Amino acid sequence: MTNLNTIPVTVIGGYLGSGKTTLVNHLLRNASGKRLAIMVNEFGELPIDEDLIEAEGDELISLTGGCVCCSFGSDLIEAMTKLAQLNPQPHHVILEASGVALPGSIASTLSLLSDFSIDGVVVLTDAETVRARANDKFMADTILRQLSDADIILLNKTDLVSAEQLIDTRNWLMSVANGAQVVNTRNAAVSPAIVLHDFAWSKESESQPLAEHRECFETHSLPMHEAVDPALFIESLLSAYPQLIRAKGFVKDLKDNLKTLQIVGKRATVSDAPQGVKTGLVVIQRLEPRTGPAEKTDE
Amino acid sequence: MNTLYQAKKIITMNPARPHVTHVAVRDGMILGAGTLEELAGWGEYTLDERFVDKTIMPGFVEGHSHAMEGALWAFTYVGFFDRMDPNGKVWSGVKSIPEVIARLKTTEARLPIDAPLPGWSLDPIYYDNERVTREHLDQVSTTRPIGLLHASGHIINVNSKTLALAGLLRTGIDNPGIPLGEDGLPTAELKGPEVMALATVHVGFSQDFLSCDEVGLINFSKLCVRAGVTTATDLAARLPETIVSMMQDVTSRDDYPARIVPLIFHSGIAPKDLIARAIAIKPQSTDKLRLGKIKIVTDGSIQGFSARMRAPGYYNGAPNGLWYISPEHLHEILTACLKHDLQVHIHTNGDEATELLIDTMDKGLLKQPAPDHRFTIQHCQLADNAQLRRIAKLGLCVNFFANHHFYWGDEHYQLTVGPERALRMNACATALKLNIPIAIHSDAPVTPLGPLFTAWCAVNRLTASGRIQGEAERIAVSDALYAITLGAAYTLKLDGEVGSIETGKRADLAILEDDPETIGADKLNDVRVWGTMLGGKVFAANTL
């Protein structure tokens, strides 16, 4: 249940080498003043670029811009509880799951903590290796479970494969993805609007490219004057906008109660809205690139 | 001055001289085992006749245990089977859910108001799988938080108060680890480490509490004396400076009756830091505290359905389990350890986890040959013959979980792996035929510390319901006694110092009231322990 007093959490999953660390650093560099808290398994292979680090402690590393990085070792719940007590609180938590972890399980556990709400599960894949990994003697089912846990999948390292391979891989991903949206990326350089809750709704995001090369999104505003059945409405929304990345707003349900609607990829949550808000929904949709489906950069 | 001890029989585990009547000790070292006349040749002596009617064996070596059992006894024992606590009291098994409630009420009466009530070793499979619910535990108290850890360590049962404190006493929860009752509220069984963590802090089981503190370490050593154990592992320790100091301090005391071998657990540390830490603490070892080995856990447990299985997977169709390390990290740690001469013990329960380990060792040894690495697979419960043959070629040791058959044998037969695989689980006999060096263990506190019982399990392979499970994998009493002495010592690279009673080895003895070689294979677990000797110092169980 999302409610306004909780800190949003994005769980980032994906196998080793898929670009999770690159994504984390990219988000830190584009945080625009938001306080991000990065949660990692252990500091040893610290996924933070040197120049972003301000001070290193045993349990917490201070980063530029008021961001922090914490390790949770084998006690995630304790680490999250301490995080919620930080003053000032982070705006958004990014949990980088280990390469063999199931991000969906982590999200499911964290959603039980009253201080936090799950914003989304983002899984990265290496365009060059993901199909082989999904056939790996030991890792196949883990990879497929990670993919089916995802709300948004970043098909990363698109520069390492040919245009045909990319299309093939993208199609295959969408067939195993269980409804997640797939966004092509290079160097995990995706717009923070995709991964982070607060960004999607600021004015700046409307004119940002979705990802570094070619991928774009458009925003639609729906006034939502009519009352709706939230569950049915979500279904029809996802049909109307098949490439929907995020949606957020307030609607009136059939009993005239105001409800908050949030959609990230395939994850939809409906909760009670705060008092006095006006109805209206904003939808962010991925656009197929104008020159054709999922192409990579020309050199 | 030498001390000569006379016994009814001394089982030396030295093939050159397997049975003698006397052993000579000086300064914590064995001068020799033989006749009085032979040992008199070492010089002036006093003859200690306390053990004249006892049977003496080398002090038992427990190659897979956790010092944490010492800490758990601070909580209320609610296990199905009788179990002895560090002070020698035998707590009777709790045979039904009403008895669980009754025992908790007894403890409850002595606790300060609203203090938490933690318990341990609950196992509903013995209650015909009737689930323990929050309504049951609410009968004990609705105002203090109650939490009962299951024997497997994977599940905790709590009462409504604990649920409320954890923010879970509400409808709308959708999590596989939190089963719901008909009223839409959690039944208060919390499954799996992440979900358990939501409750443990409220019931007095903080993460730190469960790793060993001074009191726990001392209590653990008392359990060792009562079980005839002189060397025991603490097989998954976090070893920060403070804990290492504490352990050095405690174990160095003259009256500390055990040698502890803690291994650094891989989880929560990056591979290169793990290696660096092991290299750094190895030189800080003392006689009674041996540091520098590493423990890796690759998968979960079979009865918790978190072990990694090859096709066809779990018998009841449950989905495959969880990896706790990536193949890349496993490779990185193993090859670094081969290079730096650090010994590694690796937990694998499912056969897929065992397969990954075998493949990784195979590749690692090609790059970095190590003729005497003795890396040891812990549990290795489901290895098939083909895997065991590869294990033999790669010079790996195996420490089998022989106790599992007794406690979970029926469960494995009916539910987890099915009859055929259950019969060949923990394949001690096959391993011996293939010349794989083996040991057998309790994994205390998962099952009680007690090598004689573990030996009984490996020899008899009886389940709790009395069925023999896997006659072909039973081993001889002599092999079992070897496994709990020299066999385990070998897996710890301590076979030159302990495990047999011979000249030059440490004076570590298990002093028994009964003779395990003549009591009968089916009665091995009835052999009574009088006490131990560690480095020449005698510890009687009844004066601990």
Tell me which chain A residues have a C-beta less than 8 angstroms from the C-beta of B348: none
Q: Which residue of B has its CA nearest to A81?
A: B198
Those residues with Cβ within 8 angstroms of residue B358's Cβ, 6 or more apart along the chain or in another chain: B387, B390, B391, B394, B396
Residue A282: the pLDDT is 87
Residue B67: the pLDDT is 94
Tell me which chain A residues have a C-beta less than 8 angstroms from the C-beta of B355: 138
Helix (H, G, I), strand (E, B) or coil at A79: helix
Residue B226: the pLDDT is 98
CA dihedral sign of residues B77, B78, B79, B82 = positive
Alpha helices in chain A (DSSP H): 20-29, 76-84, 103-110, 130-133, 140-149, 163-176, 192-195, 230-240
Burial of A106-139, coded b for 16+ CB within 10 Å and e otherwise, reads bbbbbbbbebbbbbbbbbbbbbbbbbebbeeebb
Residue B169: C-alpha distances to residues A91, A131, A137, B162 (Å)? 27, 43, 42, 9
Q: Mutation test of the interface with chain A: which of B185, B194, B238, B295, choosing the one with the most A Cβ atoms within 10 A?
A: B194
Q: CA–CA separation, B401 vs A98, rounded Å?
A: 29
CA dihedral sign of residues B289, B290, B292, B295 = negative
Tell me which chain A residues have a C-beta less than 8 angstroms from the C-beta of B185: none
pLDDT score of A2 more than 60? no
Task: Give the gap in angstroms from C-alpha B81 to the nearest C-alpha of chain A.
Answer: 31
Helix (H, G, I), strand (E, B) or coil at B157: strand
Contact A150, A180 (CB under 8 A): yes
| B175 closest CB neighbour out of A78, A112, A142 | A112
CB contact under 8 A, A109 and B172: no
Q: CA–CA separation, B462 vs B452, rounded Å?
A: 15
Q: CA–CA separation, B313 vs B310, rounded Å?
A: 6
- Which residue in B279, B439, B431, B260 sits closest to B343, CA to CA? B279
What amino acid is encoded at B124 in this protein?
P
| A142 closest CB neighbour out of B176, B207, B323 | B323
Q: CA–CA separation, B8 vs B22, rounded Å?
A: 9
Q: CA–CA separation, B528 vs B511, rounded Å?
A: 9
- Which residue in A179, A185, A143, A147 sits closest to A294, CA to CA? A185
Phi first, then psi: give them for residue B260, nearest 5 degrees.
Answer: -110, 135
Tell me which chain B residues have a C-beta less than 8 angstroms from the C-beta of A76: 194, 197
Q: Which residues in chain A are classed under CATH 3.30.1220.10?
A: 216-287
Residue A189: C-alpha distances to residues A17, A27, A200 (Å)? 15, 8, 16
Tell me which chain B residues have a C-beta less than 8 angstroms from the C-beta of A73: 267-268
Residue A205: the pLDDT is 43
Tell me which of 3.30.1220.10, 2.70.98.10, 3.40.640.10, 3.40.50.280 is the CATH number of domain A216-287.
Answer: 3.30.1220.10
Residue A198: the pLDDT is 61
| B270 closest CB neighbour out of A42, A77, A139 | A42
Q: CA–CA separation, B204 vs B371, rounded Å?
A: 47
Task: Give the gap in angstroms from C-alpha A121 to the nearest C-alpha of chain B.
Answer: 16
CB contact under 8 A, A1 and B328: no
For the record, the structure tokens of B216 come out as: 């726990």
Contacting A with CB below 8 Å, chain B residues are: 166-168, 172-178, 193-195, 197-198, 201, 207, 267-273, 308, 320, 322-328, 352, 355-356
Those residues with Cβ within 8 angstroms of residue B520's Cβ, 6 or more apart along the chain or in another chain: none
Contact B227, B450 (CB under 8 A): yes
Residue B207: the pLDDT is 62
Tell me which chain A residues have a C-beta less than 8 angstroms from the C-beta of B167: 112-114
Residue B479: C-alpha distances to residues B13, B458, B463, B482, B521 (Å)? 11, 9, 20, 5, 12
Domains of chain B: 76-204 (3.10.310.70), 209-534 (3.20.20.140)
Tokens 């004990």, located at residue: B140
- Which residue in B217, B218, B233, B219 sits closest to B494, CA to CA? B233
What's the residue count for chain A?
299
CA dihedral sign of residues B63, B370, B272, B243 = positive
Half-sphere exposure of B484 (CA within 13 A, CB side): 36
Q: Which residues in chain A are classed under CATH 3.40.50.300?
A: 7-207
Contact A175, A147 (CB under 8 A): no
Alpha helices in B128-270 (DSSP H): 134-138, 160-165, 193-200, 207-210, 214-227, 241-251
pLDDT tens string A134-176: 999 999 999 999 999 999 999 999 888 998 999 999 999 989 9
| Strands A60-63 vs A68-71: parallel, antiparallel or unpaired | antiparallel
For the record, the structure tokens of B257 come out as: 């009756």
Q: CA–CA separation, B98 vs A138, rounded Å?
A: 45
Q: Mutation test of the interface with chain A: which of B295, B310, B322, choosing the one with the most A Cβ atoms within 10 A?
A: B322
Contact B177, A109 (CB under 8 A): yes
Contact A280, A245 (CB under 8 A): no
| Strands A181-184 vs A258-264: parallel, antiparallel or unpaired | unpaired
For the record, the structure tokens of A17 come out as: 């080498």
Residue A210: the pLDDT is 54
The top-scoring range by mean pLDDT among A81-90, A258-267, B317-326, B480-489 is: B480-489
Q: Which residue of A has its CA nearest to B325?
A: A100
Provide the number of CB pairs (under 8 Å) joining chain A to chain B. Answer: 78
CB contact under 8 A, A77 and B267: no
Tokens 């070596």, located at residue: B61
- Which residue in B478, B483, B392 sits closest to B435, CA to CA? B392
Percent of chain A with pLDDT over 70: 88
Q: Mutation test of the interface with chain A: which of B174, B178, B323, B351, choosing the one with the most A Cβ atoms within 10 A?
A: B323
The answer to whether the predicted template modeling score (pTM) of the entire model surpasses 0.90 is yes
pLDDT score of A201 more than 70? no
Q: CA–CA separation, A269 vs A248, rounded Å?
A: 10
Q: Mutation test of the interface with chain A: which of B326, B329, B359, B363, choosing the one with the most A Cβ atoms within 10 A?
A: B326
Please return the burial class of B207, using the count of CB atoms within 10 Å of its CB with bins 0-12, 13-18 and 19+.
middle
A7-207, superfamily in CATH?
P-loop containing nucleotide triphosphate hydrolases (3.40.50.300)
Enumerate the β-bridge partners of residue B540: B531
Q: Which residue of A has its CA nearest to B240?
A: A58
CA angle B284, B287, B293 (to 5 degrees): 55
- Which residue in B511, B518, B402, B456 sits closest to B52, CA to CA? B511
Tell me which chain A residues have a C-beta less than 8 angstroms from the C-beta of B271: 44
Tell me which chain A residues have a C-beta less than 8 angstroms from the C-beta of B166: 112
Mean pLDDT (whole number) for A254-271: 89
For the record, the structure tokens of A260 come out as: 């908050």
- Which residue in A248, A234, A241 sits closest to A281, CA to CA? A248
Tokens 């897979």, located at residue: B64
CA angle B290, B291, B294 (to 5 degrees): 125
Q: Which residue of B has its CA nearest to A1?
A: B172
DSSP A163-176: HHHHHHHHHHHHHH
Alpha helices in B74-213 (DSSP H): 97-108, 134-138, 160-165, 193-200, 207-210
CB contact under 8 A, A45 and B175: no
Residue A36: C-alpha distances to residues A44, A196, B101 (Å)? 20, 10, 47
Task: Give the gap in angstroms from C-alpha A169 to the nearest C-alpha of chain B.
Answer: 24
CB contact under 8 A, B322 and A1: no
pLDDT score of A50 more than 90? no
CB contact under 8 A, B270 and A45: yes
| A77 closest CB neighbour out of B198, B308, B352 | B198
Q: CA–CA separation, B237 vs B462, rounded Å?
A: 32
Q: Which residue of A has its CA nearest to B274?
A: A44
Half-sphere exposure of A285 (CA within 13 A, CB side): 18
Phi first, then psi: give them for residue B302, nearest 5 degrees.
Answer: -70, -45
Task: Give the gap in angstroms from C-alpha A15 to the nearest C-alpha of chain B.
Answer: 9
Tell me which chain A residues have a C-beta less than 8 angstroms from the C-beta of B268: 41-42, 71, 73-74
Q: Which segments of chain B have a pLDDT < 70?
A: 206-210
Q: Which residue of A has its CA nearest to B275?
A: A44
Q: Which residue of B has its CA nearest to A115?
A: B167
Half-sphere exposure of B519 (CA within 13 A, CB side): 17
For the record, the structure tokens of B41 come out as: 């040749």
Contacting B with CB below 8 Å, chain A residues are: 1, 15-16, 41-45, 71, 73-78, 98-100, 102, 105-106, 108-109, 111-114, 138-139, 141-142
The top-scoring range by mean pLDDT among A186-200, A263-277, B5-19 is: B5-19
Task: Give the gap in angstroms from C-alpha B172 to the nearest C-alpha of chain A.
Answer: 9
CB contact under 8 A, B198 and A113: yes
Tokens 């008909």, located at residue: B182
Q: Which residue of B has its CA nearest to A140?
A: B320
Helix (H, G, I), strand (E, B) or coil at B21: strand
CB contact under 8 A, A112 and B173: yes
- DSSP H or E run through A156: strand A152-156
pLDDT tens string A120-132: 999 999 999 999 9
